[in-house]
Structure 1
Amino acid sequence: MHSNYFQQLTQGLQQQGTGTPQLILDLDQYQKNLEAVQSKLPAQLKPRLVVKSLASIPLLQLACEKLTTRRFMVFHLPHLLEIISAFEQVDLLLGKPMPIHAVQHFYQNFPDQKALNDQSNIQWLIDDIERLQQYLQLAQNLNICLNVNIEIDVGLHRGGISSQEQLIELLKLIQQYPDALRLSGLMGYDAHVAKLPKILKSPEKSYQESQQTYQQYKNIIQQQFPDLWHADLCFNGGGSPTFMQHCQQSVCNDLAFGSMLLKPSDFDLDNLSALSCAVWIAVPILKVLPYSQIPGLEMLNHLPHRYKAVFIYGGYWQADYIYPEKSRPHMLYGRSSNQEMLQVPAQCEIHVDDYVFLRPTQTEAVIPQFARLYVYSERKFIEWDTFRE
């Protein structure tokens, strides 16, 4: 099945392609993944799309339509402007704390200065008291009110609030300056749940502990700061690796995910088995030699050879070679981002101007390397722009 599929892609690329490496989106598989995700989401969990993992407006538009959402998690300020320009009535949550100079630059260069205070749909992420004080000063200088979402450590240990005392200190400052700061919720990322070796802790126990920690922080807001508690608070959690756990039981009301919709290989997890890879890197073959010749080791040329040497356009991607089967970089020849040499089984019928295919390990680092997605559907290609930022 794989062989026929990639041969079809090769034929299409030879007819419609550019002769350069392309990032291929299998549109049918992407839509199947969206349908599978839609069927799992409970009503109380609002989906939030992670923009860096789906960095193309048409890609995001399809997901928005299928999942009925205008909620986005944004990690780069250029992406923030892209989303504001492309979508109406959005809810934007920053996925990492932004340096104060970056936030200041964003507001100073915002296209419509008169609408600055209308950007109440942006939730800026706060991880400690010093950053909150910086944001307070900026809000006062600009005479605006900033939504602040507090990052909490639910077990990943990548920063954020790690004690009740820290949270109380932040909430008191927010409470003190209601004209400049507005609490919009909490964000607790739990990627460690799926990544932690099972010998240390089971995913089930790790997830339950992270949820208990999250609930404790929610209780502090509701019980000790009732004037900051309101129905629209965003309690964000998740990430693709824990999507299924949150769908079954979650203290959150807002669930972020993105990568799993394209299913790069880093997300080959048991609880995401219903999803399949929808994105490939296609790379033209420049040269085919009967066998590998290693500089300085020419005496090996006289030995029997089980592999051809294939040189491709580019290389060294964050991806694994998938087709032709059993293709791999040569250990002695080394890697190259210009003309990588692959070992391909000698019996494989492959020629110059054919393509090799790779499966990305992740999408957030791979998509920006391509100005466009080559979208494959009904044996034809169309092009979608990416952010490439």
Structure 2
Amino acid sequence: MQAVYFQQLTQDLKQQGTGTPQLILDLARYHANLEMVQSKLATAQLKPRLVVKSLACMQLLQVASEKLKTERFMVFHLPHLSDLLSRFKQADILLGKPMPVQAVQQFYQNRSDLNVSYPPTHIQWLVDDLERLQQYLQLAQQFKLCLNINLEIDVGLHRGGVSHPEQFSALLELIRQHPNFLQLSGLMGYDAHVAKLPKVLKSPEKSYQQSQQTYQRYKTILQQQFPELWQADLCFNGGGSPTFMQHCQQSVCNDLAFGSVLLKPRDFELDLLSAFHCALWIAAPILKILPYSQIPGLEVLNRLPHRYKAAFIYGGYWQADYIYPEKSQPHALYGRSSNQEMVQIPKHCAVSTDDYVFLRPLQSEAVIPQFARLYAYHEGRLTAWETCRE
């Protein structure tokens, strides 16, 4: 089945392609993944939030936004912020990492250049410690703004953020003291460690349960000790694609971030995500084919039997695995190349110059910005969508 799919895609690329490496989106699989997400969210009390870095293409985000009926986004790269505000008039944006105050200052200094009228209340700035919150307070006073502040809490990933109740209380106290400049908008706890910890150390179920308990403790401190900051519409964000299914089953959050699960690159080949399909490929043309690999300085190996032919492709060395032809792989001795990578292809495979090899990206966020366009592939047709490269 896979062979038939990629053979047909090769023929369509030969007719409509560019003759250069192309990033391919299988639109039918993308829609199927969106439908799976939609069905799981229907039974969960969670609002979806699309992670822009994982879906770094405005048309890709538009399709997901319309299907899931959401304009909630998580942004990790500041240039994406103005693009979103220009395209999605009701965008609710949560920063996914703390931004240096200089970057935030630049954003507000340049906001007149956005050519769009937007309420600053649609942006939630992520804050991880007291020093950064004090910097943001000074900036808010400088620009006469009231900034929405979402506090990053450490729920087990140990990548920074609030890790002690005393630290948490100090942040909340500073917000409480400056209501004209700082407004608490919620909490964010990222739990990527749940799926990545070796099971010999801790099961995903136990790890998820502990992360949820930690999250709930901070919610309780907020509600009991700072009731004046508690609002019914606070954003309690959590998740990420690896724990999407667990949050849909039970979560202390009300706001669920995800993106990669909709494309399912290789790093998201997890048991809990088995219902989703890979929808993203790299297609690279074959430039040259040799009957076998010839290693400079080791010509003596040329006399040995060879199970692979050597193909040199246009490009290479992406964060991706070769997926077709099956059992294709880089040569360990010849080395990698981002210009003309040598790929070992099983000898029995019928491939020719100008055919394509296909790779599955490890992460969409690492690969999409390397390509100027994403080609949506549907019913034999390829449509170019611009990516977010800056």
Q: Does 1:209 align with 2:210?
A: yes
Partner Cα distance (2:381, 2:247) in 1: 37
Q: Unaligned regions of 5+ residues in structure 1, if any?
A: none
Q: Secondary structure at the match of 1:140?
A: helix
**Normalization by structure 2: what TM-score?**
0.98
Partner Cα distance (1:74, 1:169) in 2: 26
- Judge conservation of contact 1:117–1:145 (CA < 8 Å) in 2: no
- Judge conservation of contact 1:116–1:144 (CA < 8 Å) in 2: no
Provide, for residues 104-129 of structure 1, a one-character-per-residue CA deviation record: whole Å limited to 9, x for no partner: 01111113589888211100000000
Partner Cα distance (1:165, 1:172) in 2: 10
Partner Cα distance (1:297, 1:24) in 2: 37
Shift of residue 150 of structure 1? 0.1
Provide, for residues 217-258 of structure 1, a one-character-per-residue CA deviation record: whole Å limited to 9, x for no partner: 001111111111111100000000001110011000000000
- Judge conservation of contact 1:110–1:116 (CA < 8 Å) in 2: no
Give the aligned partner of residue 4 of structure 2: 4
- Judge conservation of contact 2:44–2:248 (CA < 8 Å) in 1: no
Partner Cα distance (1:59, 1:114) in 2: 23
Provide, for residues 248-283 of structure 1, a one-character-per-residue CA deviation record: whole Å limited to 9, x for no partner: 110000000000100001001111111010000000
Shift of residue 300 of structure 1? 1.5
- Judge conservation of contact 1:23–1:280 (CA < 8 Å) in 2: yes
- Judge conservation of contact 1:117–1:144 (CA < 8 Å) in 2: no
Give the aligned partner of residue 79 of structure 1: 80
Q: Secondary structure at the match of 1:38?
A: helix
Partner Cα distance (2:193, 2:104) in 1: 29
Give the aligned partner of residue 341 of structure 2: 340
Give the aligned partner of residue 354 of structure 1: 355
Partner Cα distance (2:194, 2:204) in 1: 5
Partner Cα distance (1:24, 1:329) in 2: 21
Residues 88-167 of structure 1: pairs in structure 2 closer than 5 A: 88-111=89-112, 118-167=119-168
Letter in 1 for 2:138: Q
Q: Does 1:15 align with 2:36?
A: no
Partner Cα distance (2:118, 2:168) in 1: 26
Partner Cα distance (1:169, 1:70) in 2: 32
1:132 to 1:305, Cα distance in 2 relative to 1, 3 A = same
- Judge conservation of contact 1:33–1:275 (CA < 8 Å) in 2: yes
Q: Secondary structure at the match of 2:106?
A: helix
Give the aligned partner of residue 48 of structure 1: 49
Give the aligned partner of residue 240 of structure 2: 239
Give the aligned partner of residue 64 of structure 2: 63
Letter in 2 for 1:23: L
Residues 276-355 of structure 1: pairs in structure 2 closer than 5 A: 276-355=277-356
Give the aligned partner of residue 380 of structure 1: 381
1:315 to 1:112, Cα distance in 2 relative to 1, 3 A = closer
Partner Cα distance (1:182, 1:112) in 2: 25
Please identify runs of 4+ aligned residues in structure 1 that moved more than 2 A: 111-118
**Normalization by structure 1: what TM-score?**
0.98
Residues 190-201 of structure 1: pairs in structure 2 closer than 5 A: 190-201=191-202
Partner Cα distance (2:85, 2:239) in 1: 24
Give the aligned partner of residue 188 of structure 1: 189
1:381 to 1:40, Cα distance in 2 relative to 1, 3 A = same
Q: Secondary structure at the match of 2:289?
A: strand
- Judge conservation of contact 1:375–1:384 (CA < 8 Å) in 2: yes
After the TM superposition, which of the residue ranges 362-371 and 294-303 deviates more from structure 2? Answer: 294-303
After the TM superposition, which of the residue ranges 212-221 and 104-113 deviates more from structure 2? Answer: 104-113
Partner Cα distance (1:95, 1:274) in 2: 26
Partner Cα distance (1:18, 1:218) in 2: 52
Partner Cα distance (1:2, 1:205) in 2: 36
Q: Secondary structure at the match of 2:172?
A: helix
Residues 240-259 of structure 1: pairs in structure 2 closer than 5 A: 240-259=241-260
1:335 to 1:262, Cα distance in 2 relative to 1, 3 A = same
Partner Cα distance (2:206, 2:22) in 1: 42
Partner Cα distance (1:117, 1:18) in 2: 39
Cα RMSD of the aligned pairs, angstroms, is 1.2
Partner Cα distance (1:277, 1:205) in 2: 28
- Judge conservation of contact 1:146–1:180 (CA < 8 Å) in 2: yes
Q: Unaligned regions of 5+ residues in structure 2, if any?
A: none
Partner Cα distance (1:190, 1:114) in 2: 37
